Amino acid sequence: MAYTLANLQSDIRSYTEVSDNVLSDSVLDTIIKNAENKILRSIPTDQNAHYATSSMVAGNRYVTIPDDLRSINYVQLTNSNNEQFYLEQRDPSFMAEYYSTPGTSAVDIPKYYGNWDENFWVVAPTPDKTYFITLAYNRENDSITNTTQPTAAPAATNGTYLSNKYQDLLLYACLINTYGYLKGPADMIQYYQGQYENALTTYATEQIGYRRRDEYQDGMIRQQLKSKPPSSNN
């Protein structure tokens, strides 16, 4: 049976035999969010895969980071001839050094991107023309504790991918966290840790299966970037 927030909270209290005087809704909300994050950090779900598109104009080397970004998969540029280029991620010190290296082409087909601040990436070289940009990334996960979004069908009522399809995995992760919060018996934590790991293995196997099917159906061969290297004077 798929979990709603109320059902999950009820099961946690029932399994631990602890009332809402100790395990209040606010306490359980934190426990549940931590459990969701633990699962998705271990094995990301393709249900959170998302794409954002925009345009880069000549002379503008900044790209807005999506508000809901959790991790980036790739950044793709497409020019007016429909040629595609994939950018390589670099750290801020590399980007700063790139622009200060003598002989480096400052304006060309972008080859790298890196963090500028919490809101923007910077690319190098600076775009020499307009490019269509596609960001493939994983969004922050929907939490079953969310009582307001999406507006028409809040996750707390309609559930999430995890709560609707992997109820046992979510429950075991929550019970581990709950017994830790309660400073409960070590043997109970150990037991639910074992149950969690078994359920996580099943979840991981299915996610890998989905990913392989998606790659077979939708995969693309990445083209070699054509930008000049930073040390090139040509």
Q: How confident is the model at residue 184 (pLDDT cuts 50, 70, 90)?
A: very high
Quick: pLDDT tens for 45-73. Answer: 777 888 999 999 999 989 999 988 888 88
Average pLDDT of span 68-82: 91
Q: What angle do CA 227, 233, 234 make, to 5 degrees?
A: 65
Tokens 């990334």 belong to 137
Quote the CA–CA distance of 29 and 143 in Å, as a whole number.
Answer: 9
**17 or 210, which is more confident:** 17
Q: How confident is the model at residue 102 (pLDDT cuts 50, 70, 90)?
A: low
* pLDDT exceeds cutoff 80 at 83: yes
Cα–Cα distance list, 5 to 114, 158, 159, 179, 220 (Å): 38, 9, 7, 19, 39
Q: What pLDDT does residue 211 have?
A: 55
Residue type, 147: T
Q: Where are the domains of the chain?
A: 5-45+143-218, 48-139
Q: What pLDDT does residue 226 have?
A: 43
150: cis peptide before it, omega within 30°?
yes
Q: What pLDDT does residue 100 have?
A: 77
Quote the CA–CA distance of 209 and 216 in Å, as a whole number.
Answer: 11
Quote the CA–CA distance of 77 and 185 in Å, as a whole number.
Answer: 54
Residue 68 makes CB contacts below 8 A (sequence gap 6+) with 50, 139, 140
Kindly report the number of other CB atoms within 10 A of residue 78's CB atom.
15
* pLDDT exceeds cutoff 60 at 172: yes
* pLDDT exceeds cutoff 60 at 220: no
Quick: pLDDT tens for 148-169. Answer: 877 667 888 988 999 999 999 9
Average pLDDT of span 7-13: 97
Q: What pLDDT does residue 13 have?
A: 98
